[in-house]
Amino acid sequence: MEGMWRKAKRAMGIGFCAHLPAVAGDRDDCASERRASDAFSQDSAALAAAHASAPNTPAQAEAAGALLRRSKSGAKSSKKTCAICFDSMKPGHGQALFTAECSHMFHFHCISSSVKHGNYVCPVCRAKWKEIPFNRSLSSIVPRGRSGLNVNQARLPQQDAYMALLRQVPTRQREAPALHTSEPVEFNDDEPLQLMEAADSCDVRSSKTVEMKTYSEFSAIPQSSSQDDFAVLIHLKAPCANPEQITSRPVNTTSVGYPTSRAPVDLVTLLDVSGSMAGTKLALLKRAMGFVIQHLGPSDRLSVIAFSSTARRLFHLRRMSHSGRQQALQAVNSLGAGGGTNIADALKKAAKVIEDRSYKNPVCSIILLSDGQDTYNISSNVRGTRPDYRSLVPSSILNQAVGIVPVHGFGFGADHDSDALHSIAEVSGGTFSFIEDEGVIQDAFAQCIGGLLSVVVQDMRLTVQCVHTGVQLRSIKSGSYLSKVAGDGRDGSIDVGHLYADEERDFLLSVSFPQSREQTILLKVAFSYRDPVTNECIKIQGDEVMILRPKSRTPEPVCMEVDRERNRVRAADSIEAARAAAERGVLSEAVAILEECRRVLLESFSSRNGDRLCMALDAELREMQERMASRQRYEASGRAYLLSGLSSHSWQRATTRGDSTDSSSLVYSYQTPSMVQMLQRSQNHCPSPQIPRPQIIVPTRSFIQKPQPR
């Protein structure tokens, strides 16, 4: 009992995304105490349910779980304590008692507040109730002056900004919206978009466009030499974000002039609320969702889908206006944990929200967080075969062009299915992040939405044409981006999709060309994309790539940019090969693959010249080797760490990897200024001089050194 109470107190200290504080002008203190008791009772119910029952599989744990629940409930009953608030339940002490149809007894004010927040099952045995305790006069029976349980004091400082929302809403609107069991056939009830004045588009049209640079492996090749694998690097950099576009603080809910210089977002979040999420995990998830809601603007729309054994839509796609944010916070805070994990049902419902919407914001994305494995749609893994994770993703998402509706997956804890979440993200154009430490879930969300709220390029397509008659395009190293090379090798293309502000992309091409006495024009590069704010189509013709043809070879080092990108591609290929070996059960071979890659990287030209990318890659590969020290460690964290790193390199986009947010030794690539500033907001309640601004260490990639601890 003592250990359970300590866990309860720990969870209460974490804070939740939407407590209901006292409101200036309330006519009596009773309403304030009632709201504090409501929030505490709901959160205590979640903690009690976590210790009472948390089955992860629907069949195997049912009998054992029922026995465990009966034994625990019997112990609690014998002690005559409320399973929600853990206080004594003695008749005649001025507190009404409620006995449920499953024979478990609670304080009436505890269970009625739990029911009011949408929890219609017994917190002890999880039995569904037919007779719902409805509180008609809750304020008259709430005990006054409960010591040590001041919810307002437990609230974290970072909640103050959006807690002001709750204070400004009339008391009758503060009730958490009921979670309806029935849903409409069509999800075309999305809230209309915020109307923008025509002049706004003209004012926010950026004068900057995507920058492109090309680099040849060598600037000159002798006339008598021919090349079969000559490297050419294409480097892209998206326009920077406007100063007001980077959200470094919560949205001012009283401000009318919200910046319209960025593309509004339609965001659908899929939240795992299965039994294993009960307690601290669910509390942290609520807080992280509060941060997301807090930083969405009036033009952005949000829909939240909670899933366990089945999925349910908490509310329709709603603009995050003053009232929209407040209602979203209330809905998220009403969540309770219980049941299994059905990822496929959640994705199906998310796809329906996106398909059926009557209006469309320029940017659309899905965030999926889960701490378990889908046991409803994926059969147990048969030796030698791999589950069909692609079947979890609705065809409507699969059929979309890469990057249109990406699913960004977040694996939470050691028991999630990293293979499934990585596969879902990969086929949809999203990223996979591994949240090893449950305390950094908010930082992971912050980094993700820091990018989503800064999309400046959409539908980008890069085309390459060979100019000289003897030049042929051999291959394109584009990671997960779809690339094509024509059968005759004379042209090729890359579908880049969308880019966040300040994001960079590198693509390594291999070409062949014959001997020649004249300078050789290898390639002509062009690209096109759409501005998501103005919907303007922009086409840019790049410079031609040419090399000199001297009579004799002159000493010349390999181009630093090309060598650096070659190292990055080599590391990504080695990670993929090591993963394949580990899945075959040969961890020693996987470790050897990574060790050989580290050796080659350290002997490269860029490494010998102190390149920081090589240092970062070496540190990453070394960490992967350590997580492959044993089969147990690989299963617990190594696989997820490898997949999150592979996802980051294949899309050239930042992901959360393991407990990396607490590390001060790793160099971080792919982060953009928008992501960094959102992370600063998440990690610090006030600006800290120890967090550096983004720096361009090398011409082709930005690196952010994580802040040193105080």
How does DSSP assign 240-276, residue by residue?
PPPTTTS--S---TT-S----SS--EEEEEEEE-SGG
| Residue 693 predicted with pLDDT over 80 | no
Q: Among 328, 364, 440, 444, which Cα is nearest to 678's?
A: 444
Q: Does the CA dihedral 256-258-264-269 come out positive or negative?
A: negative
Res. 137 pLDDT band, cuts 50 70 90: very low
Q: What is the C-alpha end-to-end distance of the chain, expressed in Å? A: 37
Q: Contact 264/298 with Cβ under 8 angstroms?
A: no
What's the rounded mean pLDDT across residues 56-71? Answer: 43
404 Cβ contact list (under 8 Å, min separation 6):
364, 429, 497
74-78, 87-91, 381-385, 534-538: range with lowest mean pLDDT: 74-78
Query: Which two tokens mark 321?
Result: 């206006």
What's the rounded mean pLDDT across residues 344-351? Answer: 94
Q: Residue 106, SS3?
A: strand
76-80, 173-177, 512-516, 595-599: range with lowest mean pLDDT: 173-177
Query: Which two tokens mark 565?
Result: 């990108």
| Residue 77 predicted with pLDDT over 80 | no
42-51, 553-562, 690-699: range with lowest mean pLDDT: 690-699
483 forms beta bridges with 494
pLDDT at 416: 92
65-79, 102-116, 582-596: range with lowest mean pLDDT: 65-79
pLDDT at 554: 84
Write a three-state SS string for 152-194: HHHCCHHHHHHHHHHHHCCHHHCCCCCCCCCCCCCCCCCCCCC
Query: Which two tokens mark 173?
Result: 């609107």
394-403, 427-436, 478-487: range with lowest mean pLDDT: 394-403
What's the rounded mean pLDDT across residues 489-509? Answer: 96
- Would residue 517 be called left, alpha or beta, if left means φ above 0 and alpha means ψ between -120 and 50 degrees? alpha
Eight-state DSSP code of residue 382: P
pLDDT at 372: 87
Q: Does the CA dihedral 338-341-343-344 come out positive or negative?
A: negative
Helix (H) and strand (E) counts in the chain: 20, 22
Q: Contact 677/246 with Cβ under 8 angstroms?
A: yes
pLDDT (tens digit per residue) in 26-45: 333 334 333 433 443 444 44
Q: Residue 610, SS3?
A: coil
Q: Among 191, 198, 225, 203, which Cα is nearest to 296's?
A: 191
The rounded distance, in Å, linking the Cα atoms of 295 and 597 is 41
pLDDT at 604: 96
Residue 507: Cβ within 10 Å count: 24
Between 92 and 548, residue with greater pLDDT: 548
Q: Residue 435, SS3?
A: strand
pLDDT at 664: 40
Backbone phi, psi, residue 445, to 5°: -65, -40
| Residue 132 predicted with pLDDT over 80 | no
Res. 508 pLDDT band, cuts 50 70 90: very high
Between 89 and 238, residue with greater pLDDT: 238
* CA dist list (Å): 707 to 322, 397, 455, 600, 691: 34, 38, 26, 30, 5
pLDDT at 152: 32
Between 165 and 374, residue with greater pLDDT: 374
Q: Among 403, 404, 421, which Cα is nearest to 412's?
A: 421
pLDDT at 589: 97
Mean pLDDT of the chain: 77
The rounded distance, in Å, linking the Cα atoms of 598 and 219 is 28
Helices 639-651, 560-583: inter-axial angle, 10-degree rounding? 150
268 forms beta bridges with 303, 366
| Residue 661 predicted with pLDDT over 70 | no
Res. 513 pLDDT band, cuts 50 70 90: very high
Q: Contact 113/38 with Cβ under 8 angstroms?
A: yes
Q: Among 279, 357, 343, which Cα is nearest to 311's?
A: 343
| Residue 280 predicted with pLDDT over 50 | yes
Residue 514: Cβ within 10 Å count: 13
Which residue has tokens 């024509």?
Answer: 486
Residue 608: Cβ within 10 Å count: 11
Res. 70 pLDDT band, cuts 50 70 90: very low
Instruction: Give percent above pLDDT 90 in the chain.
Output: 55
pLDDT at 495: 96
306 forms beta bridges with 271, 312
Residue 382: Cβ within 10 Å count: 8
The rounded distance, in Å, linking the Cα atoms of 674 and 680 is 10
524 forms beta bridges with 465, 544
Q: Among 89, 87, 66, which Cα is nearest to 147's?
A: 87
The rounded distance, in Å, linking the Cα atoms of 207 and 213 is 19
374-383, 592-601, 630-639: range with lowest mean pLDDT: 374-383
| Residue 201 predicted with pLDDT over 50 | no
Q: Residue 30, SS3?
A: helix
pLDDT at 106: 76
Res. 464 pLDDT band, cuts 50 70 90: very high
Res. 380 pLDDT band, cuts 50 70 90: low
Buried-state track 107-116, b at ≥16 Cβ within 10 A, e below 16: bbbbbbbbbb
Res. 413 pLDDT band, cuts 50 70 90: confident
pLDDT at 116: 58
